[in-house]
């Protein structure tokens, strides 16, 4: 159900579609190649190193540091009502990078390259369709606010990430 | 060579723009249409209403039944088409080919343009968060500022320089100087970028006639040579890049081109580089070796990329002031450097230039084509 993923989904078909299902349940997943063990975030079905088509999901805690960011004022189609929004790129401690919106726990003037952040699974609760994505927040924000609807738009998923490296499914 | 005026060309269709450039190129070379053995068209299909544009252009120019095909590499389509024609000539398949870059971007509605703008990057993990084209380069700009102390004033210096030269180019979309104050006060687009950090969509066409060496000497007493040709790619997803303070495809394509031509960055006397956003020109100075890594901001602010400086860059106005009809841009770069090497660049002429360079980037460095051009 990858059509659930993103603010506006453009690519519903993928072999890593279960990522969105797991994100909906509060799990942030990387992929790990079953043949050579190479890890990837964002996840990919076919190993970048050895091209094996076998992979498994591996849960991440999502801790990382801000690599770069930009506040988007001129939005593309489908995003007009959200502008301005801030895009961040985070370097994940567990490997890989993610692009995500900076969430409500961080003020624009406090953003600084190198600061500690956490990539947090989010479930949208103002629309009828299922819609999931992740935002960049102050570390621990999800734990502290678990279950609360913190804006009119987004609920924090009421669970903590699994122990690092714990296998899900 | 032939080059239409760039800008909002509501007076002409894309075929008519291509014909304007093609007819000028035939007059310039002094050869009949029959001498052209085929055409390679550079364009990005989604910006035209007419699908499969190569066929439409070839028919309108009266080139059928000679072969034609479209080459697409986003904003580097022009560089890719020139390389494709060069390869066909080197392979011995053709002696004379027309490369025509053409684009008519203003026939799309704003809504259509905004929809396309949201899909320039990797769509599965990035575009779904509203990452626009300016936003990507803004991410590079912010990172470059962090790593090297590049200042907002350095970004503005690129825009001011390119508008300065755009004012000397009768084919440019914007032929007006701007002040740093005006650039800084323009509307925000994606921080740290304002409107004047970004190039503009445009209409236009450019035609080059490429010929095999012996044939070129028959046609012209002053041919300009493609002496070094480099091509490279970088990952579509910026999340898979080693850093966001350089374009690795530029470094690799430049290395190939310098090696083939037997020149060093310091030998380049005039260059057209891909300044789709102000930071992109700063990255280009560094990745092409015109200045050390991290010094690109200082390079432009200290005037080193003006005529009279270390390496004059984009003295035709660049994408910034000339406008950016995507498919035509790379072809326009080669046209401009050839003009410079022929000594025909008018007010913006770099004196005695015999070695020049073009640098055409597609997307956010996903594609890169570098040429070293020389005159005997």
Please write the tens of the pLDDT for every residue from A104-138. Answer: 899 989 999 999 999 998 888 777 888 899 999 99
pLDDT at A26: 84
pLDDT at A169: 47
Q: Among A40-54, A140-154, B114-128, which stretch is predicted with the lowest mean pLDDT?
A: A140-154
Pair of tokens at residue B353? 């230039």
Pair of tokens at residue B370? 């570098």
Chain B residues inside the 8 Å CB shell of A101: 129
Chain A residues inside the 8 Å CB shell of B129: 6-7, 87, 99-101, 133
Chain B residues inside the 8 Å CB shell of A73: 187-191
Q: Closest residue of A to B126, CA-based?
A: A99
> A77 and B130 in contact by Cβ < 8 A?
no
pLDDT at A152: 35
Asked whether B317 and B326 are in contact (CB, 8 A), the reply is: no
The C-alpha atoms of residue A167 and residue A165 are separated, in whole angstroms, by 6
Choosing among A66, A74, A135, which should be mutated to test the B contact, i.e. which has the most B CBs within 10 A? Answer: A74
pLDDT at B52: 94
Q: Among A160-169, B103-112, B302-311, which stretch is predicted with the lowest mean pLDDT?
A: A160-169
> A99 and B131 in contact by Cβ < 8 A?
yes
Residue A153: pLDDT over 50: no
Q: Closest residue of B to A113, CA-based?
A: B146
**Catalytic (active-site) positions of B:** 75, 324
Residue A11 phi, psi (nearest 5): -145, 75
pLDDT in tens, B19-42: 999 999 999 999 999 999 999 999
> B239 and A89 in contact by Cβ < 8 A?
yes
Residue B267: pLDDT over 50: yes
Q: Provide the 8-state DSSP code for B240.
A: G
pLDDT at A168: 46
Judged by a CB distance cut-off of 8 A, whether residue A10 touches chain B is yes
- The residues that bridge with A102 in the sheet, in sequence order, are A136
Chain A residues inside the 8 Å CB shell of B109: none
pLDDT at B183: 95
List residues in chain B touching A: CB distance below 8 A.
Answer: 111, 114-115, 117-119, 123-132, 134-135, 138-143, 146, 187-193, 237-240, 244
Chain A residues inside the 8 Å CB shell of B141: 70
Judged by a CB distance cut-off of 8 A, whether residue A34 touches chain B is no
pLDDT in tens, B51-86: 999 999 999 999 999 999 999 999 999 999 999 999
> B143 and A113 in contact by Cβ < 8 A?
yes
pLDDT average, residue stretch B139-146: 98
Judged by a CB distance cut-off of 8 A, whether residue A12 touches chain B is no
pLDDT in tens, A24-64: 888 899 999 999 999 999 999 999 999 999 999 999 999 99
| Cα–Cα separations (whole angstroms), residue B322 to B7, B32, B218 | 8, 30, 33
Pair of tokens at residue B242? 């080693």
C-alpha distance from B111 to closest chain A C-alpha (Å): 7
Compute the C-alpha angle B85/B11/B174, nearest 5°.
75
Residue B218: pLDDT over 90: yes
Provide the pLDDT confidence category of residue A164 given band limits of 50, 70 and 90: very low
C-alpha distance from B183 to closest chain A C-alpha (Å): 16
* pTM of the predicted model as reported, rounded to 2 decimal places: 0.95
3 state SS of B101: strand
> B118 and A97 in contact by Cβ < 8 A?
no
Q: Among A76-85, B92-101, B190-199, B340-349, which stretch is predicted with the lowest mean pLDDT?
A: A76-85
Task: Using a pLDDT cut of 70, give the percent of chain B over it.
Answer: 100
pLDDT at B110: 82
> B143 and A67 in contact by Cβ < 8 A?
yes
**Exposure string over B292-317, b if 16+ CB within 10 A, otherwise e:** eebbbbbbbbeebbbbeebbbbbbbb
Pair of tokens at residue A18? 């279960």
């Amino acid at each position: 159900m990858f059509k659930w993923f993103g603010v506006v989904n453009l690519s519903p078909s993928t072999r890593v579609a279960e990522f969105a299902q797991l994100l909906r349940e509060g799990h942030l997943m990387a992929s790990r190649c079953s043949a050579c063990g190479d890890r990837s975030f964002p996840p990919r079905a076919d190993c970048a190193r050895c091209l094996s088509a076998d992979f498994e999901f591996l849960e991440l805690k999502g801790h990382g540091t801000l690599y770069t960011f930009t506040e988007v004022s001129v939005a593309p189609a489908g995003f007009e009502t959200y502008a301005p929004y801030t895009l961040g790129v985070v370097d994940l401690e567990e490997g890989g990078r993610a692009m995500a919106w900076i969430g409500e726990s961080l003020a624009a003037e406090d953003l600084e390259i190198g600061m500690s952040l956490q990539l947090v699974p989010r479930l949208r609760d103002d629309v009828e369709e299922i819609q999931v994505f992740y935002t960049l927040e102050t570390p621990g924000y999800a734990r502290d606010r678990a279950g609360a609807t913190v804006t009119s738009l987004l609920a924090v998923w009421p669970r903590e990430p699994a122990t690092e490296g714990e296998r899900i499914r | 060579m032939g080059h239409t005026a760039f800008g909002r060309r509501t007076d002409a269709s894309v075929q008519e723009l291509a014909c304007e450039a093609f007819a000028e190129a035939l007059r310039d070379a002094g050869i009949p249409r029959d001498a052209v053995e085929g055409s390679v068209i550079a364009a990005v299909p989604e910006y035209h209403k007419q699908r499969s544009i190569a066929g439409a252009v070839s028919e309108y120019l009266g080139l059928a039944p000679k072969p034609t095909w479209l080459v697409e590499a986003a904003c580097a389509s022009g560089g890719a088409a020139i390389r494709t024609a060069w390869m066909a000539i080197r392979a011995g398949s053709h002696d004379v080919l027309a490369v025509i870059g053409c684009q008519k971007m203003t026939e799309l509605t704003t809504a259509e343009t905004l929809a396309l703008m949201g899909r320039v990057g990797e769509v599965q993990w990035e575009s779904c968060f509203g990452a626009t084209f300016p936003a990507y380069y803004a991410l590079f700009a912010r990172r470059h500022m962090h790593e090297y102390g590049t200042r907002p004033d350095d970004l503005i210096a690129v825009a001011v320089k390119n508008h300065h030269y755009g004012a000397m180019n009768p084919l440019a979309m914007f032929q007006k100087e701007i002040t740093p104050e005006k650039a800084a006060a323009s509307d925000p687009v994606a921080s740290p970028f304002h409107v004047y950090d970004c190039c503009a969509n445009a209409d236009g066409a450019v035609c080059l006639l490429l010929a095999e060496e012996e044939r070129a000497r028959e046609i012209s007493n002053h041919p300009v040579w493609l002496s070094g040709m480099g091509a490279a790619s970088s990952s579509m997803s910026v999340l898979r890049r080693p850093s966001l303070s350089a374009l690795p495809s530029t470094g690799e394509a430049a290395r190939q081109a310098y090696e083939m031509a037997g020149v060093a960055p310091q030998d380049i006397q005039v260059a057209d580089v891909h300044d789709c956003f102000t930071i992109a020109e700063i990255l280009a100075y560094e990745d092409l070796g015109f200045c050390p890594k991290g010094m690109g901001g200082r390079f432009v602010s200290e005037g080193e990329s003006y005529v009279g400086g270390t390496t004059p860059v984009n003295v035709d106005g660049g994408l910034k002031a000339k406008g950016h009809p995507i498919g035509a841009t790379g072809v326009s770069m080669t046209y401009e450097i050839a003009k410079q090497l022929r000594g025909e660049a008018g007010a913006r002429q770099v004196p005695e230039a015999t070695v020049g360079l073009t640098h055409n980037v597609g997307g956010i460095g996903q594609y890169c084509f570098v040429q070293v051009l020389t005159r005997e």
